[in-house]
Amino acid sequence: MHAPRRPAGSSPSPARLRVARVAASGFFLVNGAVFANLLPRLPEVKEAFGLSNTVYGLLVIAFPIGSIAAGMAPAPLLRRFGSARVAGVGSVLLAALVAAAGAVGSVGGGAAMLLLYAVPIVLAGVLDAIVDTAQNAQAIDLQKSMGRSVLNSMHALWSLGAMVGGIMGSAAVGAGLALPLHLGISGAIFSVLALLSQRFALTPEEVRAVQRVGGREIPGPNDDAPAAKHAPTEPAPATGRLSARNRAIGIVILIGVIAIAGAMIEDLAMNWSTLLLSRVLDAPGPMAGMGLVAMMAAQFLGRLLGDRMTDRFGRVCMAKLGGTLSAVGLCVVALAPAPAVAVVGFAVAGFGCATLVPSAFHAADSVPGLRPGTGLTLAGWLLRVAFLSVSPFVGVVSDAVGLRLAIMAVPVVALVAVLVAGVLRDRDDDDPRPSPAAP
* 399-to-390, 392, 393, 394, 404 alpha-carbon distances in Å: 14, 11, 10, 8, 11
Where do the CATH 1.20.1250.20 domains begin and end in the chain? 14-214, 243-424
Q: Round to whole Å and give the CA distance between 208 and 10.
A: 9
Nearest one of 37, 324, 74 to 168, comparing CA atoms? 37
3-state class (DSSP) for residue 311:
helix
Nearest one of 41, 387, 23 to 186, comparing CA atoms? 41
pLDDT reported for residue 210:
62
- Please identify, in words, the CATH class of the domain defined by 243-424: mainly alpha
pLDDT reported for residue 237:
58
User: Which portions of the chain are predicted below pLDDT 50?
Assistant: 1-7, 214-236, 428-439
Q: Round to whole Å and give the CA distance between 379 and 359.
A: 11
* CATH number, domain 14-214: 1.20.1250.20
* 251-to-60, 369, 423, 433 alpha-carbon distances in Å: 32, 11, 7, 23
Q: Round to whole Å and give the CA distance between 145 and 156.
A: 20
User: Is-contact 322 266, C-beta < 8 A?
Assistant: no
- The reported pTM is 0.72
pLDDT reported for residue 20:
94
Q: Round to whole Å and give the CA distance between 106 and 101.
A: 9
CB-count burial class (<10 Å; 0-12, 13-18, 19+) for 297: middle
User: Is-contact 369 248, C-beta < 8 A?
Assistant: yes
pLDDT in tens, 2-30: 444 444 556 788 899 999 999 999 999 99
Q: How many helices (H) and strands (E) does the chain have?
A: 19, 0
Q: Round to whole Å and give the CA distance between 71 and 66.
A: 9
Residues in contact with 435: Cβ distance below 8 Å, sequence separation at least 6, in sequence order: 147
pLDDT reported for residue 53:
64
Q: What's the distance, Cα to Cα, between the start and end of the chain in Å? A: 21
